[in-house]
Amino acid sequence: MNPTMLLTAPVNSTLKNMTIPMMFGMILLMSFNIVDALYVSMLGTASLAAFSFTFPVTFTIFSLAIGLGIGVSAVVAKTLGREDKVLARQHASVAMIVSAILIYSLAMIALSFLPQIFSTMGANNDNISLIKLYMTPWLIGSLIIIMPSIGNSVMRASGDTKTPAKVMGIGAILNALLDPIFIFGFGPIEGMGIKGAAIASICASVISCLIVYYKLTFTYKMLGWGYKLEEIMYSARQILTIAIPAAASNMMTPISSSILTAMVAQYGTEAVAAFGVGSRVETFAVIVVLALSMSLPPFISQNFGAGHLKRVKEGYLSSIKFVMLWQAMIYVVLLLSSGLIARAFTDDEKVVEIIVLFLIIIPLAHGLGGVTILSNSSLNALHKPMVSVGLNIVRLFVLMLPFAYLGCYLADIKGLIIGVTIAGALTGVMSFFVIKYHFKLLRSNTPQVAVKAETTS
């Protein structure tokens, strides 16, 4: 897509054309977790529980990458909206270096404290032995797995969502093909069990890395070298001003998820396994929301940079109306198929019961949860990352965890699930009113000349 189309083409069709490729790409990308969980479940409940414990930690590192991607996308898109391609290339180049340093540093810290991290989450010694088999190669190869997402953010900032979608799709397909080979063995390759799932992810991501760096360097010409120290520092400040709060905000989710996992662990290995499956299916169920949360910010940032506030507001409101309707339809699908989904992962009746409970209650709040996700991504795109951080703090630590704890006290695992659902719904309502307030602030702070020019254009 031509970057100028984000500033001139009809809002709804622009967002649709950006989101549909991202949706298909993310469907395939999310299959990484679903396919991994399916194959690991064939190793038994113990392996599935160990794999479920890893989700908050791997997602913490992914959350750092997501935050960095938000920062580079917001800064590059706004710069392109002001028609400064040279500065946009500088921002993108610095972002790739800074991201690699921060991501690998966090991965190595996690590797150094693996037993302590997972014992705190409620894992026993048997769990930790299996967890180490998966997490050690995953953390060592984390840059290969994660860095393509940063490069994809640069392409999305330019208005291109098709190439990132293809990259995600290729990686997911390769992972699905390699998983059974490395987990169970094939020909000269011996089965590695749960460790094989991590090796498959790394091998699949190598191809994604090569495609992304080739595209950024030769097709988009968005990577350059030889920048002066002051230029590097300037770009790093611009990006990290948004990326650090965004990353911190995103990392709160897996941290709170770790606490939630510890609450669930008191109900046994079966409960942890069920929650791990439920969380992965839930992520898949909100795939359209996640796709929109990646395509909406470049649209908002470019129009914000160009002073087109009417288009910014229209894009946000159209997105949340669609998400509310879409997630209502998805809930009906989950309600009718929850039993089939649960039995696809396990034949353990206790695990099946909890998965079904998860899938018929928590998705009730997915529509309003989508409002929260899109509000946070829009605030970051408007260069208001601290407001997004505040919303996430309230969502996770003021509402979700206390409501989950209260639910545990009143009605055990079912109460916990209901508490999480109520908290998600309340946060969605609050997020909508917060961003409405900031739209009013932006409008009142915009020079009247710019508002008039936007209205007449």
Predicted pLDDT of residue 335:
92
Predicted pLDDT of residue 116:
93
List Cβ neighbours of 308 (8 Å cut-off, separation of 6 or more).
7, 454, 457
Please count the other Cβ atoms lying within 10 Å of the Cβ belonging to residue 188: 5
CB 430 within 8 A of CB 393: no
Residue type at 434 in one-letter notation? V
Q: Is residue 406 part of a domain?
A: yes
- Domain range spanning residue 59? 10-456
Mean pLDDT of the chain: 87
With bands split at pLDDT 50, 70 and 90, how would you rate the model's confidence at 451? very low
Q: Is residue 417 part of a domain?
A: yes
Predicted pLDDT of residue 171:
87
pLDDT of residue 111 exceeding 50, the answer is yes
pLDDT of residue 442 exceeding 70, the answer is yes
- The three-state DSSP-derived secondary structure of 225-256 is CCCCHHHHHHHHHHHHHHHHHHHHHHHHHHHH
Predicted pLDDT of residue 288:
86
Q: Look at residue 186 and give its three-state secondary structure.
A: strand
pLDDT: which is higher, 240 or 453: 240
Q: Is residue 392 part of a domain?
A: yes
Between 29-38, 199-208, 273-282, 408-417, the lowest mean confidence (pLDDT) is in 29-38
Q: Is residue 333 part of a domain?
A: yes
Predicted pLDDT of residue 446:
58
Q: Is residue 189 part of a domain?
A: yes
pLDDT of residue 376 exceeding 80, the answer is yes
Predicted pLDDT of residue 57:
86
Whole-angstrom distance, CA of residue 150 vs CA of residue 65 = 7
CB 300 within 8 A of CB 39: no
CB 299 within 8 A of CB 15: yes
b vs e for 190-209, b when ≥16 Cβ sit within 10 Å of the residue's Cβ?
eebbbbbbbbbbbbbbeebb
List Cβ neighbours of 329 (8 Å cut-off, separation of 6 or more).
none
Predicted pLDDT of residue 452:
40
Query: 100: burial class by Cβ within 10 Å (0-12, 13-18, 19+)?
Result: middle
pLDDT: which is higher, 285 or 431: 431
Which parts of 82-158 fold into alpha helices (H)? 85-112, 114-120, 125-140, 142-157
pLDDT of residue 454 exceeding 60, the answer is no
Mean pLDDT over residues 434-454, rounded?
Answer: 68
Predicted pLDDT of residue 448:
44
Its pTM surpasses 0.85? no
Please write the tens of the pLDDT for every residue from 205-250.
Answer: 999 999 999 999 988 888 888 889 999 999 999 999 988 888 888 7
pLDDT of residue 363 exceeding 80, the answer is yes
Report the domain count for the chain.
1
Q: How many CA atoms lie within 13 A of 15 on its CB side?
A: 26
Predicted pLDDT of residue 456:
39
Predicted pLDDT of residue 5:
67
pLDDT of residue 401 exceeding 90, the answer is yes
Residue type at 11 in one-letter notation? V
Please write the tens of the pLDDT for every residue from 29-85.
Answer: 666 667 888 888 889 888 888 888 887 788 888 878 888 888 888 888 888 878 888
Q: Is residue 305 part of a domain?
A: yes
Which whole-number Å values give the CA distances from 325 to 34, 193, 280, 293, 383, in the listed order?
Answer: 25, 41, 22, 16, 28
pLDDT of residue 457 exceeding 70, the answer is no
Whole-angstrom distance, CA of residue 8 vs CA of residue 14 = 9
pLDDT of residue 301 exceeding 60, the answer is yes
pLDDT of residue 97 exceeding 80, the answer is yes
pLDDT of residue 423 exceeding 70, the answer is yes
239 token code pair: 């990006």
Mean pLDDT over residues 98-121, rounded?
Answer: 92
- Give 374's strand partners: none
Between 128-142, 168-182, 320-334, 435-449, the lowest mean confidence (pLDDT) is in 435-449
Mean pLDDT over residues 13-33, rounded?
Answer: 75
Predicted pLDDT of residue 35:
81
